[in-house]
Amino acid sequence: MDILKRIEELKTLINEYSYEYYVLDNPSVTDYEFDQLMKELIQLESENPQFKTPDSPTQRVGGEISEKFVKVNHDIPMLSLDNVFSFEELRDFDKKVKKAVNRYTYTVDLKIDGLSVSIKYNNGYYERAATRGNGILGEDITENVKTIKSIPLKIDFKKPLEVRGEIFLSKKSFNKINQEKITNGEEPFKNPRNAAAGSVRQLDPKIVAKRNLDAFLYYGFGIDKSNHFEIIQCLKELGFKVNENTVFCESIDHVIKFIEKVSDLKLTLDYEIDGVVVKVNEIDLYEKIGYTSKFPKWATAFKFPAEEVETILEAIDFQIGRTGVVKPVAKLQPVMISGSLVSRATLHNEDFVNDRDIHIKDHVVVRKAGEIIPEVLRVVKEKRTGQELPFKMIDYCPICNSHLERKTGEADYYCLNPNCEAKHLEGLIHFASREVYNIDGLGEAILTELFNDGYIKNIADIFKLKQYKDELIKKERFGEKSVDNLLNAIENSKNNNLDKLLFGLGIRQVGAKTAKILVRNYHDLFDFANATIEELENIKDIGQATSNSVYQYFHKKENIDMLNEIKNLGVNTIFIDNRMNDETVFTAKTVVLTGTLTNYSRNEAKAIIEKLGGNISSSVSNNTDYVLAGESPGSKYDKALTLGVKIINEEEFIEMIKIG
């Protein structure tokens, strides 16, 4: 037998059957027949490793475990979309498009509730996959995405190609995963999107391979087509899975009719959607229609109205936040909303409850605000029986019994006791969360248990948890593998940049954006201890309240002692400006763009300059280093001439970025 020939035959057959099963949902062979072919291929490749290739179906089982995800730059930014919530707003969007261009059509896609992904192919072979990240910088998830069976490892397209789409988890797979988690005594995922995102970010691809993720692709850079709908058809011909409900629309009226149909269709789908994406079809019109600082003006997302459900408010509890704020929380009779079971909802503050006349035992209408946070919308007063109990705000902290204070001009009450355990726990949950230190495996439930058992009482204790490895393994719901994964995640988190640490400390007024501003001015954590309030206030976009909070935090001995402890435990306390690692022609240079470029969109040029360490400004001044001028430059060009600022054209720009 010609072994190589047989291996190639098996690869061809398995790929064809996989495409039928995972993309067309129309298999022509039984699972048993498919498994036998795969088994034969695995054996032949094992006996003849010289014939194993990267595009073999056997490579989807998952590679080596990663220590962490490597950051990657997107050559073309992955832009987010502006949202509209009504047909009136959608028509306003269309009017703005009509002001910019005359003749245009639309492509409308379902808005899949999943995780955005970019996948690169080179010479027809799968090369790299990355998350969206912040749109400019994502994470390399190549090995994990390789396990998704609907994504081809080889395509009949030799030019460089970047495809973009949405990774998701079907409702069927989601239910199966959650059932397994419940059986194993683990906390189930809240919804399919969280499950998909959590799966993609697993460090072990073998775990990802078992999750049965899927993906719809909706765009391809490198395909020479004039409109978006043609690109989708081309992706389908290349073997990619595209959504069968994508439609071409000649007008905004046609778009609205389709959306009306989708509202009923969404209930029959085996995957979650939260709206539709409306894009101008003609790609050559994009530059003329333009961009805002955040979004393209030629596309928008129509979001479905939040689902509203009636239930009973059984009780009102009180939750203590990391800053000491005390919030009333509705304890609800459990109800399904937008695909997840809801038993609690925010009531915001005392004024919110009183203004809406909310009583305990009321029938209430609940919705998910922004499809994320459940909130009580209104009371169904006609269903009152007289047995309902009026709300009364508490006077003392339910945890430490300290007297609560409501500050002048604020709606919230605060527990001012610095030693209140509830504040400490919420602060730790905030620190370990995905948005901050992103310690995988240290979620709210696990952290609460470790806090109550005395293992973790402050941030430093998180990084000392490895001392208790043997004890943790013996705890219920833990085990050796989960403890190893947790300790590895904690160890990896030590390398986070300083802005993450500053955000994680829970200083009042210091959110993620403010933390980034602060660390660009003070590159060492301990520099903040020497900063005066006046110096902090002089930083652009930093106000008096923030300056006072930062100053007070870094002038408390217990805080400095804790920070010294985590530094000694190996936690990074230095800001590393990733833009400035290598000197380039744009390093620390301020650039202003004007006019229309031929080879790049405005956002693409901005991303390239920022990637090379430059700063983008919207106005020309004596501090401007370069003005990049395209066709039909405006007043910025004239001002640059007046001030003697160096003006570069697109050809010069291309040469400069080649040099880097």
- Please, are residues 20 and 28 in contact by the beta-carbon 8 Å criterion? yes
Rounded distance, CA 152 to CA 572, Å? 40
Structure tokens at 329: 């929380």
The structure tokens listed for 321 are 């936040």
3-state DSSP assignment of residue 29: coil
How many angstroms from the chain centroid is the CA of residue 477? 28
Tokens of 380: 């169904």
Amino acid identity at 151: I
Q: What is the dihedral of CA 284, 288, 293, 297, to 10 degrees?
A: -70
31 in helix, strand or coil?
helix
If one counts every other C-beta atom within 10 angstroms of the C-beta of residue 442, the result is 23
DSSP line for 322-344: TTSEEEEEEEEEEEEETTEEEEE
SS3 110: strand
Backbone angles phi, psi at 52, to 5 degrees: -80, 130
Q: Rounded to the nearest 5°, which phi and psi values hold at 195? A: -65, -40
Token pair recorded at residue 63: 């590679």
255 half-sphere exposure, CB direction, 13 A CA radius: 29
Polymer length of the chain: 660
CA distance 161 to 105: 25
Q: What angle do CA 351, 356, 361 make, to 5 degrees?
A: 110
- Measured over the CA atoms of residue 59, residue 62, residue 68 and residue 71, the dihedral's sign is positive
Give me the active site residues, please: 111
What are the DSSP calls for 611-633, one per residue? HTT-EEESS--TT--EEEE-BS-
